[in-house]
Amino acid sequence: MLDPKKVRLGMCPIGWSNDDMWDLGDENTFQQCVSEMALAGFTGSEVGHKYPEDKVVLKHMLDVRGMTIASKWFSSFLVDKPYEEVEAEFIKELEYLKYVGATAINISEQSGSIQGKTDVSVLDMENKRVLTDEEWTRLCEGLNKLGKLSLEQYGIRSCFHHHMGTVVQTVEETTRLMENTDPKYVFLCFDTGHFTFAGEDPVKMLEKFADRVGHVHLKNMRMPIVEKVRAEHWSFLDAVRNGAFTVPGDPDGCVQFDDVFELLDKAGYEGWIMVEAEQDPAKANPFEYAKMARAYIKEHTGL
């Protein structure tokens, strides 16, 4: 299951140092992070806020550890900002990513996002922005342009990241985006945790769009925490801080990864599979959880 010639495994640094709440993992250095990823058996990483901005330095530090950059988050504002302004920022990221060997850029539309607001409940749907038809058109047309640019000029896939607290959170919203963008240029960053958090079935979504997946985030969920998020009206960041997310292999998690692995294999998926779990490293030692996830993936896929 899953061809090791086509599928590569990586780990996101957000378990070592959180990009939205810098106090989580402030004590953990960049070099510690990537060294522990490599020791746990991963060969790829995404870019975190502690990573060197100098692409030459970054590439060297990864090369000596047998690692590479797989992708990077990109906050787009295609709905609320002029396309040209978004594209200019996008190109800067692509230049950086091309040099360090990335194959994907993970685009998340941040117009109206509540994911970073600590005083807004992420599961109270009345707090979430809903796009108009005209805004949907602007978003999808903008993504087609960015996707064409990234693939044809840089060889990098534009992978849209559905995300809690954003205008593309639900299955309905993700489906609308996928059905109204060009499959040649716009791929899906498939995240098991964010669909589960949103009350959706990630397996059913993968069944529908397996051929559009360009990047994968394996994220597990602790459902008792998610239930508290709903009952006590927590923000997304409160959910993170209190342990809503965890890695594959954690017995506290609920995601059925075997079905995900099977569907990706059946679709002939080629690309990175990234373990991602933003946790408080003082409560969940990132190296130990990285090893837990790597052992689970090996046992269940052979990779």
pLDDT in tens, 21-64: 999 999 999 999 999 999 999 999 999 999 999 999 999 999 99
Residue 18 lies in a domain: yes
Q: Is residue 1 part of a domain?
A: no
Residue 125 lies in a domain: yes
Does residue 88 lie in a domain region? Answer: yes
User: Does 217 reside within a domain?
Assistant: yes
Which is it for the CA torsion 145, 150, 152, 157, positive or negative? negative
**CA–CA dist 71, 57 (Å, integer):** 17
Domain contains 2: no
Residue 172 counted as domain residue: yes
222 dihedral zone (left: phi>0; alpha: psi -120 to 50; beta): beta
Mean pLDDT of the chain: 97
Answer yes or no: is pLDDT of 1 > 90: no
CA dihedral for 303, 34, 249, 208, sign (positive or negative): negative
Backbone angles phi, psi at 197, to 5 degrees: -60, -40
For 143, the domain range is: 7-301
Q: Which of 14, 7, 4 is nearest to 37 (CA)?
A: 14
CATH of the domain at 231: 3.20.20.150
Mean pLDDT to the nearest integer, 282-301: 98
- Count of domains forming the chain: 1
- Mean predicted confidence (pLDDT) in 221-239: 97
**Longest C-alpha distance within the chain, in Å?**
49
| pLDDT bucket at 104, cuts 50 / 70 / 90 | very high
Region 257-265: what's the mean pLDDT? Answer: 98
Say if CB 150 and CB 90 are below 8 A apart.
Answer: yes
pLDDT of residue 28: 98
Pairing of strands 186-191, 44-46: unpaired
The alpha carbon of residue 261 and the mean position of all alpha carbons in its chain are separated, in whole angstroms, by: 17
